[in-house]
A and B are shown apart, each in its own frame.
Chain A
Amino acid sequence: MRYNFNWPVIWRNSDKLYNGLLLGLAIAVVALLAGCVIGILLAACRQSRFRVLRLPATVFVEIVRNTPLLLLIFFVYFGLPELGITAFDNVQCFTVTLALYAGAYLTEVFRAGLAAIPVAYIEAGKAIGLTALQRGRYVVLPVLFRIVLPSLSSALISLFKDTALAAAIGVPELTFGARWINVNTFQVLETWTMAAALYLATCYVLAIALRLLERRYAMVR
Chain B
Amino acid sequence: MLNEAWRARYTLLGGLLTTLEISALVIVLGTIVGVLIGLGLCYGARPLRWALRGYVDIIRGIPSLVLIFFSFYGTALLGLNISAFAAGVLALAAFCAAHVGELTRGAVQSIPHAQTDAARSIGLGFWGRLAYAILPQALRRMLPAWVNIAAEMVKGSTLLSLIGVLDLLLATQQAIARTFLIIQFYVALMVVYFAINFAISRVGAAVERRMAYVRF
Contact B73 A188 (CB under 8 A): yes
* Among A62, A63, A163, A204, contact of B61 (Cβ-Cβ < 8 Å): A204
Contact B194 A67 (CB under 8 A): yes
B193 in the interface, Cβ–Cβ < 8 Å?
A: yes
Contact B62 A67 (CB under 8 A): no
Chain B interface mostly: helix
Contacts of A18 in B (CB 8 A): none
Q: What residues of chain B have their CB less than 8 Å away from a CB belonging to chain A?
A: 58, 61-67, 69-70, 73-74, 76-79, 151, 154-159, 161-162, 169, 173, 176, 182-183, 186-187, 189-190, 193-194, 197-198
Minimum CB–CB distance for B153 against chain A, Å: 11
Contact A164 B158 (CB under 8 A): no
Interchain residue pairs with CB less than 8 A apart (17): A62-B194, A66-B151, A66-B194, A67-B190, A68-B154, A68-B155, A68-B169, A82-B183, A161-B64, A162-B63, A163-B63, A164-B66, A175-B63, A179-B69, A182-B73, A188-B74, A199-B62
A83 in the interface, Cβ–Cβ < 8 Å?
A: yes
Residue total for A at the interface (Cβ-Cβ under 8 A): 36
Contact B77 A164 (CB under 8 A): no
In the complex, number of A-B residue pairs with CB atoms less than 8 Å apart: 101
Contact B77 A3 (CB under 8 A): yes
Produce 1/0 per residue, A50-63, CB < 8 A to B.
Answer: 00000000000011
Minimum CB–CB distance for A104 against chain B, Å: 13
Produce 1/0 per residue, A82-114, CB < 8 A to B.
Answer: 110000000000000000000000000000000
Known contacts A63-B190, A175-B66; A71/B158 CB under 8 A: yes
Q: Which 4 A-B pairs give the minimum distances between C-beta atoms?
A: A164-B63, A68-B155, A68-B158, A200-B61
Chain A interface mostly: helix
Residue among B62, B77, B79 with most chain A CB within 10 A: B62
Contact A178 B186 (CB under 8 A): no
Q: What residues of chain A have their CB less than 8 Å away from a CB belonging to chain B?
A: 1, 3, 62-63, 66-71, 74-75, 78-79, 82-83, 161-165, 167-168, 175, 178-179, 182, 188-189, 192, 195-196, 199-200, 203-204
Contact A71 B66 (CB under 8 A): no
Known contacts A189-B74, A192-B70, A192-B74; A167/B198 CB under 8 A: no
Contact B62 A196 (CB under 8 A): yes
Minimum CB–CB distance for B119 against chain A, Å: 33
Bound-state CA distance A63–B194 (Å) is 7
Minimal Cβ-Cβ distance residue in A for B197: A66
